[in-house]
Amino acid sequence: MKNARAVWMLIISAMLGIVVTAMAVGWVSQKGTIPSSKIVVAAADIELGSRLTPQMLTLVDWPSGSTPQGAFIDAKNLQDRVVTTSIQRGEAILNTKLAPLGTQGGLSAVIAEGKRAMTVRVNDVVGVAGFALPGNYVDVMVNTQQDKTGKTEDAKQISKTVLEHVLVLAVAQEAGRDDTKPKVVNAVTLELSLKDAEKLDLARSIGTLTLVLRNQVDKAAVNTDGITKSQLFDEQEKPKSDMLAAVKPLVIHHRMAASAPKKDCVEVFHNDTRTLNCF
């Protein structure tokens, strides 16, 4: 009897364990099920300015409660659209990352509205040793001859910052912004307003350009008067009036011999002696 009772206790315990386990699995599976919907993501890395094709896209399940605003649920709606930024594999394709409908691919698709793209020739020094990469911001400095009076003999060498916080769109023929390795190239393309493009065109025709790399989050403008060669070496130019005052006139004093006052004289002869008396 005792053995039979022990067996029944084991059977009942096993059945209770199975029931509890089944209930736990059902509860976990019920809680683990999250409503989802399919959205379009990148099937591979997509470079800035690329035109989308079906091979670049795929559909994945995305939690319905956290679907990004502007996401697409049908890849057909993205045919021939152009991306304005680099997109990584698995990243959702959003409307904010696309150029307007009808935009052609290439660099022109990423130029902001009202802006222009202008390319300047650089070398390893002008191009900040290759650290001026797409997506960075630079200032543009010009070194030229300043002519204030219109006379070539009065021209002064000056360095001055003519443009600030200019976006680098591309270096050489590369516009991707994911690579951070320095690249020494011979041309840099900048994004400018039309007025700034005119300034840059004039600056490069009258002097030598230099790019100055700046912090990406630093947008503060700093107005300077530039610096001349005399200011660089702390040579203060004196006004002409001061220069004339510094030259002391040479005054020659002539000492005139004093003439003797006129006197009345009487010549007296006495015993063969001649005497001259003046009074």
* Single-letter amino acid, residue 64: S
Percent of the chain with pLDDT over 90: 23
Q: Which of 111, 245, 93 is nearest to 167 (CA)?
A: 111
pLDDT in tens, 159-182: 999 999 999 998 887 777 777 788
* Band (261; pLDDT cuts 50, 70, 90): low
- Residue 203, classed as helix, strand or coil, is helix
pTM > 0.85: yes or no: no
Torsion of CA 87, 81, 119, 223, to 10 degrees: -70
Q: How far is CA 29 from CA 60, 65, 133, 167, 279, in A?
A: 21, 19, 50, 51, 152
Q: Where are any strands of DSSP class E within the chain? A: 36-42, 57-63, 116-121, 137-146, 156-171, 187-192, 207-214, 227-228, 265-270, 273-278
Question: What is the per-residue pLDDT across 16-52, written as a single tens digit (0 to 9) for each?
Answer: 888 878 887 777 666 556 777 889 999 998 888 888 9
Pick among 3.40.50.2300, 3.40.640.10, 3.90.1210.10, 3.40.980.10: CATH of 36-108: 3.90.1210.10
156-171 and 227-228 as β-strands: parallel, antiparallel, unpaired?
antiparallel
DSSP code for 150: S
- Of 126, 129, 159, 132, which is closest to residue 228 (Cα–Cα)? 159
Cβ neighbour number for residue 187 with a 10 Å cutoff: 13
Which residues belong to CATH 3.90.1210.10 in the chain? Answer: 36-108
The token duo for 167 is 């976006």
Distance CA 272, CA 250 (A): 58
